[in-house]
Chains A and B, each alone.
Chain A
Amino acid sequence: MLTEADNDTVTAILAKIHVQRWVERKEFPELVREEIRAELRRRLADQGLELAASPYSDFYSVRLSSQIRQLSGYEWPGNLSWDANCYALLMVLWVRLALPRRFHGSGGGDATEPPTTLFPEPGDHLKEMRARGTITRRQIEEEFGRRLGGKGKLTQYLKQLKQQGFIDYSSQDEITEGPMLELMADAEELTAHIRESVIPSILRGLGGDA
Chain B
Amino acid sequence: MAFADQLESTNVPVPNTGETNGTVAAPNAGGPCGTAPAPAGAADSPLPPEAFPFLAPYGDLRQFFPLFHELTKSGEEDFVLRLALIQEMVARPRESWSYDDLDREFSWIPGPKRNYLLRSLRDSGWLAQDPYDGYQLTEVAQVVCSFVAFLRGLDATGDSLGLAVLGLEYHLKNGRDPLPLVAQIRLRLAQLVDRADAALSSRSRPVIMRTRDYLEESLAYSADMRRVLASTDYADSRALREARAAHRLLARLHEYRSELNRLVVEMGRSLLTLSGGVTEEQIAEHFLNMDVKELAALARRHFHSPLPAWAYILPDILVSTAEDFLSKDLVAGEQVEPWGPVTEVQAASATRPSSKELEAFVAELTRYAEDFGKQKAEQEQRQGQNEEQGPERPQTRAPASVPLTAFVPRGNRGTSYLRLHLLSLLQPLGKPVARRETAVGRLVRLPLKVETGPGEIPVREGGLVAMSPGTLGPAPEPALAPAPTPTPAPVLTPAPSSTPEPSPARTKEDPAAC
- Interface residues of chain A, those whose CB is within 8 Å of chain B, are 18-21, 25-26, 29, 32-34, 49, 52, 54-58, 61-64, 69, 75-77, 80, 84-88, 90-92, 94-96, 99-104, 106-112, 143-144, 147-148, 164-166, 180, 184-191, 193-195, 198-199, 201-203, 206
Contact = CB atoms under 8 A, between A and B. Distances in A.
Contacts of A94: 299, 303
Given A88-B295, A194-B272, A108 B303 contact: no
Contact of A32 (B205, B206, B255, B284): B255
Contact of A186 (B252, B266, B302): B302
Contacts of B496: none
Contacts of B308: 21
Nearest to A33: B255
A27 to B, nearest CB: 12
Given A34-B258, A99-B283, A104-B271, 4 more contacts: A80-B305, A85-B292, A109-B203, A203-B276
A14 to B, nearest CB: 11
Contacts of A75: 300, 305
B103 interface: no
A64 B307 contact: yes
B351 interface: no
B298 A108 contact: no
Contacts of A64: 304-305, 307
A198 B204 contact: no
A104 B284 contact: no
7 contacts: A21-B307, A26-B201, A86-B296, A88-B296, A90-B299, A92-B287, A95-B284
B275 to A, nearest CB: 8
A126 B108 CA distance: 59
B299 A107 contact: no
Interface string B246-287: 000000100110110001001101111110111010111011
B203 A58 contact: yes
A109 B204 CA distance: 5
B306 A180 contact: yes
Most buried by A among B255, B292, B296, B304: B304
Contacts of A201: 286
A198 B272 CA distance: 12
A195 B276 CA distance: 12
Contacts of B272: 99, 102-104, 191, 194-195
A96 B295 CA distance: 14
Contacts of B300: 75-76, 87
Contact of A55 (B208, B282, B292, B304): B208
Interface in B408-439: none
